Amino acid sequence: MTRIGMLLAALVATAAGALAHAADKRYPLDSVKKIEVVEPSNRSVWENKDLLDCSDVVLTEDDVRYALRHIRRVTEKAFFSEKTERTGCSGGASVTFSNGKIIVIGVEPTGRINIFEADAKLEPTGAPESYYECGPCRTRKMILLQDAFDRADERRLKKLVAQGRVSSAEAELLLQKARSARKGP
């Protein structure tokens, strides 16, 4: 194969990959009429306060817009996989489009998103629920949540100091280490 042929093949593969990972066309951001955050912060039985306290996680209208722009559909099996990271925290919003369609969207800080179509009372319609993940949402939210993670680390380490499992000096070193690890190189 010639260099031009290989270049064309690479461009076609890249374009096909980009189309396969495009945001869901059923929910175009440019036709959003109204977004109402109905549940800014919710916790489930999965909440792990040592990792993140759900009261530190609040869904905003900007988060919903960002999610609609970047969501990538996944299978139900992938969404509920044991390998999928969960915090036990989520937020929910209703989104009304200019064509009258209403969806209810649940967003977790890990980028796990579920959507179902709803009627005016926000009750599910007959359409099946859809499952998504959003890597850019996760990155964006996790950057915004650095303080929340720091507070969770502090709570966890204070508990260990109170139990006598680590000293105050050792807890401080562990806290600095955790903060440095999250910030990366």
Residue 49 backbone phi and psi in degrees, to 5: -65, -20
For 155-173, the pLDDT digits (tens) are 889 999 999 999 999 999 9
**3-state DSSP call for residue 76?**
helix
74 and 107 assigned to the same domain: yes
Rg (CA), the chain: 21
Whether residue 130 sits in one domain with residue 59: yes
Clarify whether residues 99 and 160 are in a common domain.
Answer: no
Residue 63 lies in domain: 23-144
Task: Give per-residue burial for 128-154: e unless 16+ CB within 10 Å, then b.
Answer: eebbbbbeebbebbbeebeebbeebbe
pLDDT band at 104 (very low <50, low <70, confident <90, very high): very high
Highest average pLDDT, of 57-66, 93-102, 133-142, comes from: 93-102
Whether pLDDT at 130 is above 90:
yes
Judge whether 3 lies within some domain.
no
Amino acid (one-letter) located at 13: A
Higher pLDDT, 82 or 13: 82
Spatial separation of the C-alpha atoms in residues 130 and 132, rounded to whole Å? 7
Asked whether the beta carbons of 87 and 47 are under 8 A apart, the reply is: yes
Residue with tokens 């959507």: 115
Same domain, 27 and 88: yes
Residue 50 has pLDDT above 90, yes or no: no
Tell me, yes or no, whether 160 and 121 share the same domain: no
Q: Are residues 173 and 92 part of one domain?
A: no
pLDDT of residue 99: 94
Give the pLDDT band (50/70/90) at residue 100: very high
Q: Do both 49 and 105 map to the same domain? A: yes
SS3 88: coil
Residue 56 domain flag: yes
pLDDT at position 8: 42
- Give yes or no: residues 72 and 130 share one domain: yes
Query: What pLDDT is attached to residue 167?
Result: 93
Find, among 59, 43, 38, the residue nearest to 109 by Cα: 59
Does residue 125 share a domain with residue 177?
no
User: In whole angstroms, what is the distance from residue 95 CA to residue 33 CA?
Assistant: 8
Same domain, 81 and 107: yes
Q: Do 81 and 115 belong together in one domain? A: yes
Based on the domain organization, do 74 and 102 belong to the same domain?
A: yes
Per the structure, the count of domains in the chain is 2
